[in-house]
Chains A and B, each alone.
Chain A
Amino acid sequence: METLIGLLVAAPLLGAGVLLTGGKRLDRVGHWIGTLLALLSFVFGVVLFADMLGKDADARTLTSHLFTWVPVGGFQADVGFQLDQLSMTFVLLITGVGTLIHIYSIGYMAHDERRRRFFGYLNLFLAAMLLLVVADNYFLLYAGWEGVGLASYLLIGFWQHKPSAATAAKKAFIVNRVGDIGLSVAIMLMFTTFGSFAFNQVLPQAQQASTTQHATITGIGFMLLLAACGKSAQVPLQSWLGDAMEGPTPVSALIHAATMVTAGVYLITRSGAIFNAAPDAQTAVVTVGAVTLLFGAIVGCAKDDIKKALAGSTMSQIGYMIMAAGLGPIGYVFAIMHLVTHGFFKAGLFLGAGSVMHGMNDEVDMRRYGGLRKYMPITFVTFGLGYLAIIGFPGLSGFFSKDKIIEAAFAKGGTEGWILGGAGLLGAAITAFYMTRVMLMTFFGEKRWVPDAEGHEPHPHESPSSMTIPMIILAFGSVFAGAFFSLNSRFVHWLEPVTGHSEGDSPVSAGTVTAATMAVLVVGVGIAWLMYGRRPVPSLAPRGSLLTRAARRDLLQDDFNHVVLVRGGEHLTRSLVYLDHSLVDGVVNGTAASVGGLSGRLRRLQNGYVRSYAVSMLGGTAVLVAATLLMRAV
């Protein structure tokens, strides 16, 4: 069984290697190779899962030490795997949803001549993400972390001929680097503090050392949070996510549902022991989560680009998860549960959006959609189910997981609990609003289609079955996953041995929370219907209020970055350049000039006349003889 963990990672990695080095002769079969290897990885995951279910709850962790990667004195980095319930959950989500997205891409990318390369990158993405979640130490996790960053860069910029895509890829990469610095600093701190990278060394020690090395552990916590912000697109490192929509839609689905953005949640959950020992860091985590969930939701309301609206929603949903993870043992389980259900419905929503775009000549502006439910029935139904799931319609998966998070937020207790719970409820209301808006603008109302730039009238049609089947499967997940997990607190029991769980002490009863959620849901949907369902949607966006305009510009995130970071950086650079020119260059040039002058004089000694050289030799010999005599005399 242990070897299977390695094979789990190796299968997509092999696919990436074969597809990226195989050349054009694989063009015709490349997508099948990629999909099959992803499927193989999923099968390995299922086998491991079955094996794990057969064991006791406390003895389910599998470990496998492959080899020692960097053995240098006291510094020892291993390549080893650890598969526990938490990793298992991620493995199934990544490989399962990943495989579905592979299948979907076969149809979606059918007309792209670089499809083989695309599948190579997808496989690389899966491999890196799997490595991230099955690593048994932070060092190897970091390798997977960087691999995810690389793969996301390659995929977001896949249509590199578009300058916007190339820029978006660079933006994602650079913003992620900022987060990566956090992770690397955290790892360095761990090594100096605990002398190891391994989870089974660092985490128990962190728990014990919470009083003695409080400051260090808080520092590690903050650095890990920075890392999570980078990968999971949380405030203040959220700016890359919206632009990442430049990539092909399956990539967006993969980034938002199964890989990449979930890495931050995984990191915080995995490092739970550290956060439990550092309450200040936990506060920071919940703050980031709460701010982001509102931020993303507001941005989602204003976007007319269907993918960007969904991107805002992802940001918001991940904000829920981060907030839950920051709550400590009362929230970890629900963070992961929401992650899994979100994986289903968000993947379904993105694939649905891709299907709509596929039928509408790659138009992304929702104001040019309308009335599509008759033309794309399957897409409409699956997208609709995903929509119901994300707004938390009773019985669907989003209802169970999001509800639990809001409950847990209240259970945090005190003012903090009220604030967080309130933020969660407000977020739920806004979510209902903007998702209803997306739904109404896309599938209902009258047609607002316009010909594309080349004058082709759109002919909306249902997508091929390779695209619809994954959507149907994901729709099933969106509908039933939540109920399945919540039955008998199944998911809580499953994860409890790894993350720990406590019920907390909520000032509000669960029923009240559910009722409140339902109420805000109705309010959100109602407002949306009033604004977009009851009256026709204008084809051109109205100017809108100040908040709308700001939200359209991603709440000025890029402007903030530009003013504070870019301008500041430019000023800093300019002053450094001035310093460089005047001071550093002055010293350097002065040295060079004096050396040059000296050399010019010394050069005269090299006059090319052998007799001059002979004089120097004889003089040198005389000096040597004199030195010898002097030494003897002394």
Chain B
Amino acid sequence: MPLAAAAASQTSTGEAVQFWILGTVAVLGALGTVLMKKSIHSALSLAGTMIVLAVFYLAQGAYFLGVVQIVVYTGAIMMLFLFVVMLVGITAADSLKETLKGQRVMAAVCGLGFGILLIAGISNASLHTFTGLGQANTVDGGNVQGLAHLLFTKYVWAFEITGALLITAAVGAMVLTHRERTEERRTQRELSEARVREGRQVTPLPAPGTYARHNAVDIPALLPDGTISELSVSSTLRDRGQIRDVSGDAMRRLADLEQSSERWLGREGERPAAERSERAGLAGRDNDRAEEGAK
């Protein structure tokens, strides 16, 4: 990048190479933001695009903005996004099937038309030469000083207003998310007393997970009869329908194990047929026996 040149028409080759590589990444990131099914993936793609843009800012001599882009956007705003995504539910993958009639077509027409018009407009403008920021960045002793000079002189009024806007936004966010507590919070003692009085689930809730094979919170515990215990999974996951029922899986594997052990011991056919037919329903007894067999 020519530092002192008043006008130039070409950037350095290094920048060109960088542009073509990172530009592709930026476009891919943007497409990923739009097309990824899960919002968490969208957020990560967007973060990638933003980092690329930060690099572009730096490459174009906007050093301050490049740093701000990383700190504010990828650092703060994207984290805020991730935070909300987590709050709302990460696994709720969106269906990309369109529900509004004609929306896709209209979006395509408008988007394409708009993009074509923008590009036509840019190519129509005569942008064969450019000044470069070498001069502007050195006048006040650096890019940050130059920006500060402008911010606190020419744009000071806008700056003040933006400050007011930020405060308003902060207050607004608090007002919007604040929930008034209308009754006293119940103590642990009161809760336990209420449980006993209602006579429902007096003991602690069962822990999730089935044996040592699964200990994830979304796997419900199995009851002695082999069915799952809904209570063992957090109500949030239950509401979202994110319970992974592995009881059938476990049954099948146990049955396999039992078969193979019987075969290995050469005692097949010894057990009465009636008992064997019960196997599917009375998983508990099978389990016990299978474990004995395994030993």
What are the interface flags for A587-619 relative to B under an 8 Å C-beta threshold, 1 for contact and 0 otherwise?
A: 000000000000000000001010110010011
* Chain A minimum-CB-distance residue to B124: A629
> B121 contacts A612, CB within 8 Å?
no
> A621 contacts B124, CB within 8 Å?
no
| Residue among B103, B111, B118 making CB contact with A625, cutoff 8 Å | B118
> A629 contacts B120, CB within 8 Å?
yes
A-chain residues with CB within 8 Å of residue B103 when the two chains form the complex: 609, 611-612, 615
> A622 contacts B100, CB within 8 Å?
no
* Chain A minimum-CB-distance residue to B105: A615
| Residue among B100, B110, B121, B124 making CB contact with A618, cutoff 8 Å | B110
> A615 contacts B124, CB within 8 Å?
no
- How many angstroms from the CA of A621 to the CA of B121 in the assembled complex? 14
A622-B117 contact, Cβ under 8 Å, with A611-B100, A615-B107: yes
Interface of A is mostly: helix
> A625 contacts B106, CB within 8 Å?
no
B173 CB to closest chain A CB (Å) equals 20
B-chain residues with CB within 8 Å of residue A619 when the two chains form the complex: 106, 110, 113
* Chain A minimum-CB-distance residue to B125: A632
Asked whether any CB of chain B lies closer than 8 Å to the CB of A626, the reply is yes
- How many angstroms from the CA of A611 to the CA of B121 in the assembled complex? 26
> B121 contacts A629, CB within 8 Å?
yes
**A-B pairs with beta carbons under 8 A, tally:** 35
A629-B107 contact, Cβ under 8 Å, with A609-B100, A611-B100: no
A621-B100 contact, Cβ under 8 Å, with A629-B121, A632-B124: no
- How many angstroms from the CA of A191 to the CA of B117 in the assembled complex? 66
Asked whether any CB of chain A lies closer than 8 Å to the CB of B155, the reply is no
- How many angstroms from the CA of A437 to the CA of B175 in the assembled complex? 95
- How many angstroms from the CA of A615 to the CA of B107 in the assembled complex? 6
- How many angstroms from the CA of A621 to the CA of B106 in the assembled complex? 14
- How many angstroms from the CA of A235 to the CA of B121 in the assembled complex? 85
- How many angstroms from the CA of A408 to the CA of B106 in the assembled complex? 96
Asked whether any CB of chain A lies closer than 8 Å to the CB of B114, the reply is yes
A625-B100 contact, Cβ under 8 Å, with A615-B106, A615-B107, A632-B124: no
- How many angstroms from the CA of A628 to the CA of B111 in the assembled complex? 18
> A625 contacts B121, CB within 8 Å?
yes
A618-B111 contact, Cβ under 8 Å, with A609-B100, A611-B100, A611-B103: yes
A-chain residues with CB within 8 Å of residue B117 when the two chains form the complex: 622, 625-626, 629
Residues facing A in B88-122 (CB within 8 A) are 100, 103, 106-107, 110-111, 113-114, 117-118, 120-121
Residues facing A in B30-71 (CB within 8 A) are none
A13 CB to closest chain B CB (Å) equals 61
- How many angstroms from the CA of A615 to the CA of B120 in the assembled complex? 21
- How many angstroms from the CA of A578 to the CA of B100 in the assembled complex? 49
| Interface CB pairs A-B, < 8 A, 5 | A611-B103, A615-B106, A615-B110, A619-B106, A629-B124
Please give 7 more A-B residue pairs, beta carbons under 8 A apart, in addition to A619-B110, A622-B117, A625-B121: A607-B100, A611-B100, A611-B103, A612-B103, A622-B110, A622-B113, A629-B117
Where the two chains meet, the residues of B that have a C-beta atom closer than 8 Å to any C-beta of A are 100, 103, 106-107, 110-111, 113-114, 117-118, 120-121, 124
